[in-house]
Amino acid sequence: MSLESEVDLPGGAVLPGALPDALRAELIAFRRDMHMHPELGNQEFRTTAAIKERLERAGLKPRVLAVGTGLICDIGVEGAQWDGGPSMLALRADIDGLPIPDTKAACPYRSTVPDRAHACGHDVHTTVVLGAGLVLAELHRRGALPRPVRLIFQPAEEVLPGGAADVIKCGALEGVGAIIAVHCDPRVDAGKIGLREGPITSACDRLEIGLDGPGGHTARPHLTTDLVTAAARVVTDVPALVGRRFDSRSGLAITWGRVESGHAPNVIPQHAELSGTVRCLDLEAWRQAPDVVVAAIDEIANLYRAKSEINYVRGVPPVVNEPGVTELLREAMIARRGVESVEGTEQSLGGEDFSWYLEHVPGAMARLGVRTPGERQIRDLHQGDFDVDESAITVGVELFTAAVLVNGLR
Give the other-Cβ count within 10 Å of 5's Cβ: 9
Which residues have CB under 8 Å from 410's CB, separation 6+? 328
- CB of 254 closer than 8 Å to CB of 293: yes
User: How many whole angstroms separate alpha carbon 115 and alpha carbon 97?
Assistant: 10
Q: What share of the chain is helix, strand, coil (3-state, %, to 5)?
A: 35, 25, 40
Strands 149-154 and 88-94: parallel
- Per-residue b/e over 59-84, b at no fewer than 16 CB within 10 Å? ebebebbeeebbbbbbbbeeeeeeee
Tell me phi and psi for residue 126, to 5 degrees.
-65, -45
pLDDT of residue 343: 98
User: How many whole angstroms separate alpha carbon 331 and alpha carbon 403?
Assistant: 8
Q: If DSSP states are collapsed to H, E and C, what string results for 199-210? A: ECCCEEEEEEEE
Beta strands in 98-240 (DSSP E): 149-154, 176-189, 193-195, 198-199, 203-212, 216-217
Tell me phi and psi for residue 28, to 5 degrees.
-65, -40
Q: What is the pTM of this model?
A: 0.90
pLDDT of residue 79: 52
- For the segment 333-360, what is each residue's pLDDT rounded down to a tens digit? 999 999 999 999 999 989 999 999 999 9
Name the nearest CA neighbour of 283 among 312, 317, 256, 249.
317
User: How many whole angstroms separate alpha carbon 349 and alpha carbon 244?
Assistant: 19
pLDDT of residue 260: 97
Q: Which residues of the chain have pLDDT under 70?
A: 1-18, 79-86
Name the nearest CA neighbour of 281 among 326, 319, 323.
319
pLDDT of residue 409: 77
pLDDT of residue 77: 83
pLDDT of residue 192: 98
